[in-house]
Chain A
Amino acid sequence: VTGYRELVAAATVGLAQRPLSITVLPEPATSHSALLDTDPAAAVLDAAALLDAARRASGPVPASVQLPAPADADTAPELRPVAASIIAGVLRDGPADLLADLLAAAARAGFRAPAPLVPALLSVAVSSTALRPAVAATLGRRGSWLAAQQPDWLRVADAAAVEPGEDAWETGRLAERRAWLAELRRGEPDAARELLAAGWAREAGEDRAELIAVLAAGLSAAYEPFLEAALDDRKADVRRRAAALLARLPGSAYAARARARGTGVLSVERRGLRRRLVVTLPTEPDDAAKRDGLDPRPPDRRVGAKAWVLTQIIAAAPLELWPELLGDDPAGLVRLPVADDFGTDVHAGWRTAALRQRSAEWARALLHAGDAPQPRPGWSSDEALAALLPADERQTRAVQLLRDTGRPGVTEAALQGCPPPWTRPLITALMGFLARGVDTAQPGQIGALLPVAARGLPVDGPVDYAAEFRRLADEAPQTTVLPTAYRRAADILDLRRRFHEELH
């Protein structure tokens, strides 16, 4: 019997070298064996045609595979078609922050993302970490089931609140272990501490960095020995986080050391009624200082090595030190001129300290000091500082900036830091600022404010801000960016309104 394999072998080498005489073909072509051409080459092609058809016809034979465990049924409904097509459009064309807002609104209204969109949403959230919480919140059980099939997607899904299982600590993923530890610390803080310390040496570096971050909530002096030991960790992230946590424990040995290093770098010089801050540049950090997290290498060429050490010393020292030492409150201190152009270095340190030690008082003072935005790397932004203030105070601050005709870069950041819903005074101040238009502000500054306004203005109220923006677009100087910027903002408001209507 001459099978297809024999035909291929003969045709590959060539019948000239390897003659093949075909007598009988296998089933189901056997009965056609007599039809083959007398020319040997044509006979091989005849036979191949018969067997090829038979091979292709037997084509996809059902075979056995292992089926996956299916996704559990979801309780939350999928977004309805119109809302889904809005999400698909923004997913395709951006902007990303609008996508995050819409998804978050959908999740709040109890909807989940439509299954066909989930792969694209997961993929975009892999590259854009800012989108992760919003995407994770709309996954539902179907989306979580899908995310579990790719490691990258799983990281996105883990941005949602994870419900840790019983043996999560021993066998769970990092996100589950984090959630489990946080829960145990709320109920039995001592047991949690002992458990963490007991297995610490066996944890992987990345896991140590993630687990130590869990201690930020409900931090107490009981953790000092553990954190002090973590300053000697092999992993830089662990050392850095341990130092930041120790800085928040006022009675710790670390705080005492930071205080000692801080004492002496700043002093007040009086000349008549005028006062200014004078810097005494620190020496090269010794080993003990390096252990406490002082990095002798500046992040950028624009920052001098000694000035960088100065910034870090100020950032690490307990903030109570400065009023004691310099005899003024934070609001007074941040307004003092600093000798020899070290103002940015000193304020960079205070800003980082305010963030680490979560001091609303210092944040308030620094925000009022009027530093230029982002003058250098390692500079903690106004936005981050503003986040330390209570929500109503943030809105008040934004109102003030808008009434004062704003400061480029600062005003939109302040507005961005106000979580919706915006208060009536804030909206009034914003619309007033826009109405004054180019009489008081640069077109670029207004243009930068509009995307923030388009995200934050309410779309569920009686006022149609989109129509208002289109009117302003017609009135704005047509040679500037403003007509386009206003129309784009109006379109985003329309889109948000339609989406909002779909959710209710």
Chain B
Amino acid sequence: VSGRWSVDQVLALAPDAASATTARTLATPSPWSGTGATSDLVWGLCAGSGKSPYQAIVDLSGPAYKCSCPSRKLPCKHALGLLLLWAMDAVPVAAEPADYAESWRRSRAERAAAAAVKPRGERDEQAAAKRAEQRAQRVEAGLVELERWLRDQVRSGMSAVSGSYRHAEPVAARMVDAQAPGVAAQLRRLSTVPASGDGWPERLLGGYARLHLLARAHAQLDTLPPELAATVRSYVGFPVTRESVLAEPAVTDDWLVLGVRDVLDGTIPSRRTYLRGRETSRWALLLAFDPQGMFGANPDAVLRPGTLLRADLHYYPGRPPLRVALGFRHGEPVPAPAPEPTLDLTGQADEWAAVLELDPWAGDWPAVVRGIPVADGAGWRFAEPDGASVALRLGGADPWVLVAVSGGHEVIVAGEWSAEGLRPLAVWHGEAAVPL
């Protein structure tokens, strides 16, 4: 049986901040009765405002939640409160689940078995092929327009948009119509660059150039190596179904969870979870999207840094391979020792250069490095004992937890490496991972 989850781990399941707060008020023994836990089920009765108490059940292997309360949030505050109580060791272990918990689990298992894949009809396939063809034509026409727009910007001069933070909005909207959402998102990010202060022309031209490169690459998609073509298609925004990825061969390994970052300023909020295989030493990125920024119900989005999960990962096509779909889990996440950095800072910079050679559009790449956070004027750097260092990208956050864990000594940090420096996501304090 894996260890109980930590309180933070449970709170990460909350669909929103308000749920986390109300759940904490329920994380006391008082409102609860008849609580119990087996290795994969936790259940209990929670006194509510009504006559009869609510039945809350959590299947830890999902995790999946069931509660008789009328809340539409998943998990509801009762399920979260119950998990918190369990995380605090305040739920007794039981030999057998309570009846209502057992019958819920059985019905879930039956439903899962019934939902076997239904074969698609031939007619569906024809329709899908036709839709794909239409989409390819729309994207092609859109990228021709994009290329024209980019050349116009360079011809008429970028100084015309100085200080603007939405100059590329119209063309971004056009790319949405052209079914190239990836290009649209990049244009929206570029839109704000002329208002981003010193050095904006350098950054803006770089952004234009990468889009130009993308349009050129897309124009000769058929001649590119298949992996590069897949990378180009993914930046343009062609969808890849999870099913097709799961149909690819699996990479089975003990995957160490290195760091998690929520990107809430994008069009659709996303959670990025970085993994590294213990035997294969391969990097992997799990992406979860949710329009409301609620990741609690998504089993791909609730892994915690410092745990190890034996699982089958399936890589999305592209080079270098990074994004994965999580397939079969061979077990539950278990606490893991700290990762061993395999590269020093120089080696990491070389790896980053190699990544850009394969994918010139790459924004960042996972890294595990050893060093010391050091104040440097207004900013912070991450240094090796001999003084060699890179900038820390803190994005407005303060570095103090990292500094406290380091104490001026070397620490192991997992994060995202980019042209701007290292963005720390987790630091190891002895055997324990501390999310940053």
A interface with B by C-beta (< 8 Å): 4, 7-8, 10-17, 39-42, 44-46, 48-49, 52-53, 55-71, 81-82, 85, 88-89, 93, 114-116, 118-119, 142-143, 145-146, 149, 470, 473, 487, 490-491, 494, 498
B210 in contact with A52 (CB, 8 Å) = yes
Q: Which 8 residue pairs are nearest across A and B when measured between Cβ atoms?
A: A14-B157, A70-B408, A62-B388, A48-B209, A119-B400, A60-B390, A71-B407, A41-B151
B408 is contacted by which of A42, A61, A69 (Cβ under 8 Å)?
A69
With CB as the reference atom, state the residue of chain A lying closest to B387.
Answer: A64
Residues from chain A with a CB closer than 8 A to the CB of B150 are 41, 45
A16 in contact with B155 (CB, 8 Å) = yes
With CB as the reference atom, state the residue of chain A lying closest to B427.
Answer: A116
B404 is contacted by which of A45, A55, A142 (Cβ under 8 Å)?
A142
Taking the complex as formed, is B353 at the interface, i.e. its CB lies under 8 A from any CB of chain A?
A: yes
How many Å from the CB of B149 to the closest CB on chain A? 11
Taken residue by residue from 47 to 85, chain B's Cβ proximity to chain A (1 for < 8 Å, 0 otherwise) reads as 000000000000000000000000000000000000000
Q: List 30 A-B contacts (CB under 8 A).
A: A8-B201, A10-B154, A11-B205, A13-B159, A41-B154, A41-B155, A45-B212, A46-B212, A46-B216, A49-B360, A56-B419, A57-B352, A57-B353, A57-B356, A58-B353, A60-B419, A60-B420, A61-B349, A63-B388, A65-B374, A67-B408, A68-B374, A68-B375, A71-B409, A81-B432, A85-B7, A118-B404, A145-B407, A145-B408, A473-B30
B151 in contact with A12 (CB, 8 Å) = no
Please provide the chain B residues from 162 to 216 with a CB less than 8 Å away from any CB of chain A in the complex: 201-202, 205-206, 208-210, 212-213, 216
Taking the complex as formed, is B260 at the interface, i.e. its CB lies under 8 A from any CB of chain A?
A: no
Taken residue by residue from 311 to 332, chain B's Cβ proximity to chain A (1 for < 8 Å, 0 otherwise) reads as 0000000000000000000000
Residues from chain B with a CB closer than 8 A to the CB of A491 are 28-30
Q: Which of B151, B387, B390, B432 has the most CB of A within 10 A?
A: B151
Residue pairs across A and B with CB atoms within 8 Å: the count is 189
A65 to B375, CA, bound (A): 9
B388 in contact with A64 (CB, 8 Å) = yes
Residues from chain A with a CB closer than 8 A to the CB of B30 are 470, 473, 487, 490-491
A67 in contact with B400 (CB, 8 Å) = no
Residues from chain B with a CB closer than 8 A to the CB of A146 are 400, 403-404, 407
A4 is contacted by which of B151, B202, B432 (Cβ under 8 Å)?
B202
- Asked whether A65 and B389 contact (CB < 8 A) given A49-B210, A71-B407, A115-B405, the answer is yes
Residues from chain A with a CB closer than 8 A to the CB of B24 are 89, 93
A62 in contact with B389 (CB, 8 Å) = yes
B345 in contact with A62 (CB, 8 Å) = yes
Taken residue by residue from 3 to 37, chain B's Cβ proximity to chain A (1 for < 8 Å, 0 otherwise) reads as 00011100000000000000010001110000000
B157 in contact with A11 (CB, 8 Å) = yes
A478 to B169, CA, bound (A): 60
With CB as the reference atom, state the residue of chain B lying closest to A153.
Answer: B400
With CB as the reference atom, state the residue of chain A lying closest to B7.
Answer: A85
B89 in contact with A59 (CB, 8 Å) = no
A8 in contact with B202 (CB, 8 Å) = yes
B390 in contact with A62 (CB, 8 Å) = yes
Residues from chain A with a CB closer than 8 A to the CB of B372 are 67-68, 70
Taking the complex as formed, is B418 at the interface, i.e. its CB lies under 8 A from any CB of chain A?
A: yes
